[in-house]
A and B are shown apart, each in its own frame.
Chain A
């Protein structure tokens, strides 16, 4: 390979003499007209951590799927340990020492750690010898890499961080030398992420090669040796991490300059618009997910709800938006009690001035089979302006959609395209435009930038700030601590259905918030469930 010689302190592309763990040469993959991977050249040196960043749809997942045997490249060559190989399926990949830790874990929830580790790697029909061998091997791996997990515990009793360690153990047990991790920190608390990084560093010292796919630039900076940036199916640059900066990476990813920081004025809070007292909410199975939450949001401020996913955020959003009944407690919107809920409360609350951007746009916020214009009126289709009596005024709905497209720069600008064909960021804009353009008093927003490109994130953040400055009360739920800190005027931390602390985003330090999110309570914070301004 005749790589361009760079002047970086550490060579981004390994020299000829250096031992390569894996090399991709001119990989191409098309899905119909979409050129998902275009002439990909990638070389990863043995014993390094290589990051791959890129926006959604840049082709990262396709590339890794080719490496792991889910897809077959149309053309190009994969070289592992110096020899060209073909990888038809995941067992081929494993045989070559390539292991993958998926974003969504592939574990059997009601099996023990040990059973999960040997699953598919049993040596004989009898389990006993395999189990004994696995137990010894797991102990060794735990000692060597600090991958401690209770081997006889059942998966569903483990924390998410521990489950991830089981996934890593599974790969190592099968003899993986090259580990691919796909967005590994998405579900972790900051402390768990730190622990993961310590494990990854130890693995590197032991000579393992790690490929880390992520969209979090901070992680790239913190842990990788080299980083490749993908854009529109191509690797646009491979750099030594030490010689780059988050700003440069963001620019390479998007193809233009991006502001990573949100600029906002001081909040000017007004009257309390949303007032929640002692809210107790159960999930579909009857388990209490909110155990007495009190909070309020004033006009012109953003209240951020921080916390690791699954600590009651979903139930909070659903209860506030009228989708889920409360077991006890009250919710007041503009002073009016709106706690009682029936099937159609969500529509009623919308008409009373509460808009809801749901956590999961695909599952809840959109009908992906609908045309764009149909989604532009979801939840508002009953309004008289979309038709008198029974009939639906398709023309009026299209006009509304067209306005959204122009104002929120939704692309492609086509009201008659199926929503499934829009990118994640543009789908999110369809939802945001719909909910923001009705001029609500209160806006509750869940995970506004999940699966959204960096370029769109900037836009979405600015829209949220604009709503605040227009005097709306905004409640923001996000598992991205950075996002909470950047946008919120006040932060409360939700843990196990309780509000366990409050922080000022200007002064709060990450370690403190991280401890709260992990359930290690601040002195006295656990008692004060009311979050005072």
Chain B
């Protein structure tokens, strides 16, 4: 009954997330003050680090690209009522798909190689996500549990493959051979000198296309319709004659394929080779990105940008203000995740009450006699 009055859409979509982020930054500011630094100065440094000059901005976009892919992976599954925690492992396995094709077609111009690398990465990561999907659909094993387990399996499996199979004899660190420069996904700095050799590459545009594509998939295809039906009400989907089992498997595969695109940005682009543990938490950040973005592509795009700013600006901050350590940056990032994800509804009630008060206040002033008691 308390939700009898739905909030206006803009409150849900814009006001609440902004309030949540603001709250996270206020508390982060208190932390900064406790260590004896000026929080306003800290924010200035952070923003400057993220946007202020070409090098920083390039890194911001590079991180954003990763977070868009990882966030979309979680968002697509979420519309089907599935919680894909396995983006990390799926992206890692996607890296294998990317590197195998990239090395195999070494020397081919990137414009021809890129589609092949993408397909391979999507296939590898998609299959990795399809397995938990199959187990959920046919065996009833919950995807949350199985995707987490698949993350561990991916880590071990990939360590073995990278260090024992892919590692060339003449290289010391655990990584694959390098991709031919002609085949490697080119950096944007080739065309935009301002970006100063930062790792942001063509994948950034692929990420933007993915945002549009996912929007189309979820709201303008029959599959998306079925997916959302299942996500909101599995019984209704069954009633409508949709196969929940098939939807779960396809959805997980698509979700995994999106996570696999992180490999296009990193393995085939920024790194130019497959590094041990290259995903480095991107898959998990994707969960926060998707939730903060309310699983909507526009929201995912914006929150991916926010996390990109936090990552790049945070490094700048740690560098400029020695009192603020890397760990503190992580703390602030965690606060943002906490307030926008886990506690995103904390401010909903106060906002609702404020709206109710505003509304009934307006009504009351119209009929002042109403409150008089008999």
Interface residues of A (CB under 8 A from B): 25-26, 30-34, 62, 71, 75, 321-323, 342-350, 356, 358, 363-370, 374, 377-379, 381-382, 386-387, 390-392, 394, 418, 421
Q: Which one of B5, B224, B243, B360 contacts A344 once the chains associate, using CB atoms below 8 Å?
A: B243
If A322-B241, A363-B235, A392-B224 touch, does A30 touch B229 (CB 8 Å cutoff)? no
Identify the closest chain B residue to A382 (Cβ): B222
Identify the closest chain B residue to A356 (Cβ): B239
Identify the closest chain A residue to B5 (Cβ): A32
Identify the closest chain B residue to A348 (Cβ): B241
Identify the closest chain A residue to B2 (Cβ): A31
A394 to B228 alpha-carbon distance, docked (Å): 15
B242 touches A344 (CB 8 A): yes
Identify the closest chain A residue to B238 (Cβ): A323
A367 touches B232 (CB 8 A): yes
A25 touches B222 (CB 8 A): no
Please, which residues of chain B bring their CB within 8 A of the CB of A62? 1
Please, which residues of chain A bring their CB within 8 A of the CB of B139? none
If A346-B240, A346-B241 touch, does A392 touch B225 (CB 8 Å cutoff)? yes
A367 touches B236 (CB 8 A): yes
Q: Which one of A25, A71, A366 contacts B374 once the chains associate, using CB atoms below 8 Å?
A: A25
A329 to B151 alpha-carbon distance, docked (Å): 47
B229 touches A378 (CB 8 A): yes
B186 to chain A, nearest CB (A): 31
A365 to B239 alpha-carbon distance, docked (Å): 7
Please, which residues of chain B bring their CB within 8 A of the CB of A377? 225
Q: Can you list 28 contacts pairing A with B, beta carbon distance less than 8 Å?
A: A31-B2, A32-B5, A322-B241, A323-B238, A342-B243, A343-B241, A343-B243, A343-B244, A343-B245, A345-B241, A346-B238, A346-B239, A347-B240, A348-B241, A358-B239, A367-B232, A370-B228, A377-B225, A378-B236, A378-B239, A379-B240, A379-B241, A381-B226, A381-B240, A382-B222, A386-B222, A392-B219, A394-B219
B140 to chain A, nearest CB (A): 12
Please, which residues of chain A bring their CB within 8 A of the CB of B243? 342-344
Please, which residues of chain A bring their CB within 8 A of the CB of B2? 31
A75 to B372 alpha-carbon distance, docked (Å): 10
The answer to whether B359 has its CB under 8 Å from any CB of chain A is yes
Interface residues of B (CB under 8 A from A): 1-2, 4-6, 219-226, 228-229, 232-233, 235-236, 238-246, 356, 359-360, 371, 373-374
Q: A26-B373, A348-B241 are in contact. List 4 more A-B contacts (CB 8 A).
A: A32-B4, A322-B241, A392-B225, A394-B220
A391 to B1 alpha-carbon distance, docked (Å): 37
A365 touches B236 (CB 8 A): yes
B251 to chain A, nearest CB (A): 15
Q: Which one of A34, A343, A366 contacts B4 once the chains associate, using CB atoms below 8 Å?
A: A34
A418 to B6 alpha-carbon distance, docked (Å): 10
A369 to B244 alpha-carbon distance, docked (Å): 18
B352 to chain A, nearest CB (A): 8
- Main DSSP-derived SS at the B contact region: helix
Please, which residues of chain A bring their CB within 8 A of the CB of B374? 25-26
Please, which residues of chain A bring their CB within 8 A of the CB of B233? 363-364, 366-369
B221 to chain A, nearest CB (A): 5
Identify the closest chain B residue to A361 (Cβ): B236
Q: Which one of B4, B226, B232, B246 contacts A31 once the chains associate, using CB atoms below 8 Å?
A: B4
B218 to chain A, nearest CB (A): 10
Please, which residues of chain A bring their CB within 8 A of the CB of B224? 392
B222 touches A370 (CB 8 A): no
Please, which residues of chain B bring their CB within 8 A of the CB of A374? 225
A34 touches B5 (CB 8 A): yes
Q: Which one of B1, B222, B236, B359 contacts A366 once the chains associate, using CB atoms below 8 Å?
A: B236
Please, which residues of chain B bring their CB within 8 A of the CB of A379? 239-241
A347 to B229 alpha-carbon distance, docked (Å): 14
A370 touches B232 (CB 8 A): yes
A390 to chain B, nearest CB (A): 5
Please, which residues of chain A bring their CB within 8 A of the CB of B236? 363-367, 378
If A25-B374, A346-B239, A391-B220 touch, does A369 touch B232 (CB 8 Å cutoff)? yes
A32 touches B232 (CB 8 A): no
If A25-B374, A75-B371 touch, does A392 touch B232 (CB 8 Å cutoff)? no
Identify the closest chain A residue to B363 (Cβ): A33
A92 to B193 alpha-carbon distance, docked (Å): 74
A405 to B105 alpha-carbon distance, docked (Å): 58
A349 to B241 alpha-carbon distance, docked (Å): 9
A82 to chain B, nearest CB (A): 18
A5 to chain B, nearest CB (A): 19
A391 to B225 alpha-carbon distance, docked (Å): 10
B354 to chain A, nearest CB (A): 12
B232 to chain A, nearest CB (A): 5
A381 touches B5 (CB 8 A): no
Please, which residues of chain A bring their CB within 8 A of the CB of B373? 26, 75
If A32-B4, A32-B356 touch, does A350 touch B232 (CB 8 Å cutoff)? no
A344 to B233 alpha-carbon distance, docked (Å): 16
B109 to chain A, nearest CB (A): 31
Closest 6 CB pairs of A and B: A347-B241, A32-B5, A31-B4, A346-B241, A343-B243, A379-B240
B241 touches A344 (CB 8 A): yes
B4 touches A347 (CB 8 A): no
A366 to B229 alpha-carbon distance, docked (Å): 9
A286 to chain B, nearest CB (A): 16
A321 to B236 alpha-carbon distance, docked (Å): 13
B229 touches A33 (CB 8 A): no
B222 touches A364 (CB 8 A): no
If A26-B374, A347-B240, A347-B241 touch, does A33 touch B226 (CB 8 Å cutoff)? no
A387 touches B235 (CB 8 A): no
Interface centre among A356, A379, A386 (most CB of B within 10 A): A379
A317 to B1 alpha-carbon distance, docked (Å): 32
A350 touches B241 (CB 8 A): yes
A346 to B244 alpha-carbon distance, docked (Å): 12
Please, which residues of chain B bring their CB within 8 A of the CB of A390? 221-223
Identify the closest chain A residue to B222 (Cβ): A392
A366 to B374 alpha-carbon distance, docked (Å): 45
A386 to B360 alpha-carbon distance, docked (Å): 43
A174 to B23 alpha-carbon distance, docked (Å): 48
A392 touches B4 (CB 8 A): no
Please, which residues of chain B bring their CB within 8 A of the CB of A368? 232-233
A158 to B238 alpha-carbon distance, docked (Å): 32
A364 to B233 alpha-carbon distance, docked (Å): 8
B1 touches A71 (CB 8 A): yes
If A34-B5, A343-B246 touch, does A391 touch B240 (CB 8 Å cutoff)? no
A183 to B342 alpha-carbon distance, docked (Å): 39
A424 to chain B, nearest CB (A): 15
Identify the closest chain B residue to A421 (Cβ): B6
A261 to B219 alpha-carbon distance, docked (Å): 45
B5 touches A33 (CB 8 A): yes
A144 to chain B, nearest CB (A): 37
A449 to B240 alpha-carbon distance, docked (Å): 21
A262 to chain B, nearest CB (A): 27
B239 touches A391 (CB 8 A): no
A367 to B81 alpha-carbon distance, docked (Å): 13
B364 to chain A, nearest CB (A): 11
A411 to chain B, nearest CB (A): 18
A369 to B374 alpha-carbon distance, docked (Å): 42
Identify the closest chain B residue to A41 (Cβ): B374
A365 to B219 alpha-carbon distance, docked (Å): 21
Please, which residues of chain B bring their CB within 8 A of the CB of A348? 241
A4 to B244 alpha-carbon distance, docked (Å): 61
If A34-B4, A387-B222 touch, does A367 touch B229 (CB 8 Å cutoff)? yes
Please, which residues of chain B bring their CB within 8 A of the CB of A364? 233, 235-236, 238-239
If A26-B373, A392-B222 touch, does A32 touch B239 (CB 8 Å cutoff)? no
A321 to B235 alpha-carbon distance, docked (Å): 13
A305 to B169 alpha-carbon distance, docked (Å): 78
B359 touches A391 (CB 8 A): no
Identify the closest chain B residue to A418 (Cβ): B6
Identify the closest chain B residue to A345 (Cβ): B241
B360 to chain A, nearest CB (A): 7
A323 to B220 alpha-carbon distance, docked (Å): 27
Please, which residues of chain B bring their CB within 8 A of the CB of A344? 241-243
